[in-house]
Amino acid sequence: MKKSAFVFFTLTGLFKVVLCAQFGLNVHVPTKMTWSKARDYCREHHTDLSSINSQEEYEELFTSAGTQLQLSAWIGLYRDAKGTWKWSGGGAASYLNFTLDGASKDDNCVALAKKIDDKPAMNCEMNSLRFYCFQSSLVLVKENKTWEEAMEHCRRQDSNLVSLTSGSALTKTLQTIRRGQTDHVWTGLRYLAGSWLWVAGDKVTYQAWSQGETPQCPNMVRHCGALSVEEEHWVGHDCTSKLNFVCH
């Protein structure tokens, strides 16, 4: 599907617009709900509320949406109890092309329109708005396998263990693994010949290690990269551990 294309369809009585996005689809739901009810709806019927991690994703979500986005719609951005702006499925808000400075203490959720409002932060429960859901194309496999077994499983499905090559990839993967059954999930990260690499062939340029630094000489058994569900960072993990994993 081209970025400029739309798909219109009906599901559970709701008219929606589906737009292309990396790692899945963004689905516009024109039925009005509070932010928390919108999040619950997205988690039940899709993956989570939509996130935006780059200008390209912003354009994918909004530019092709026509008149539907002249009106504000919820996305997954919210302010947690510590005052940090985060995405509902996990991941920090590293990219914003709008300002949240000056948002009142009661305006803890974000809604965007094609023409950005000066104050996109709104009260989560006092406003009922349209919203965007993200439908992930990543596959969470809730089977406990070693890293090698997980890689073989993905490749039998003509895919590979997921490569987390950007903040967007990390956020979308965190949204996908929310219902996992292990504290960590396998990724395609592997330590070979003195360096870390993605087995799908991608270069390790983006970094999200738990200690903030790439493990240079990891313990022999910790040559496989896993994603911590709680800490939202990569860790070097024992390759023989049996974990859930993500194929892409």
Query: pLDDT for 83-110, tens place per residue?
Result: 999 999 888 888 887 888 888 999 999 9
165: DSSP letter: -
CA 202 and chain centroid, separation: 19
Q: Is 70 helix (H, G, I), strand (E, B) or coil?
A: helix
Under a CB-based contact definition with an 8 Å cutoff, are residues 243 and 173 in contact? no
Domain ranges (residues) in the chain: 7-135, 138-247
Q: Are strands 129-136 and 73-79 parallel, antiparallel or unpaired?
A: parallel
pLDDT of 128-176, one tens digit each?
999 999 999 999 999 999 999 999 999 999 999 999 999 989 999 999 9
Domain at 7-135: CATH architecture: Roll (3.10)
- Measure the N-to-C terminal CA separation of the chain; round to a whole number of Å: 18
pTM over 0.85: no
Question: Predicted confidence band at 67 (pLDDT cuts at 50, 70, 90)?
Answer: low
Tokens for 98, please give them.
Answer: 């709008």
pLDDT higher than 70, residue 125: yes
Q: How far apart are CA 121 and CA 17, in angstroms?
A: 23
169, 23 Cβ separation under 8 angstroms: yes
Count of beta carbons in the 10 Å neighbourhood of residue 217: 7
The percentage of residues in the chain with a pLDDT greater than 70, rounded to a whole number, is: 84
| Domain 7-135 and domain 138-247 have a common topology | yes
Q: Does CATH place domain 138-247 in 3.30.300.30?
A: no
- Take residue 138 and report the two structure tokens written for it: 């990543």
Give the chain's mean pLDDT: 85
Model confidence pLDDT, tens digit, residues 2-48: 333 333 333 344 445 565 556 888 888 989 999 999 999 999 999 99
Q: Using an 8 Å Cβ cutoff, are 207 and 215 in contact? A: no
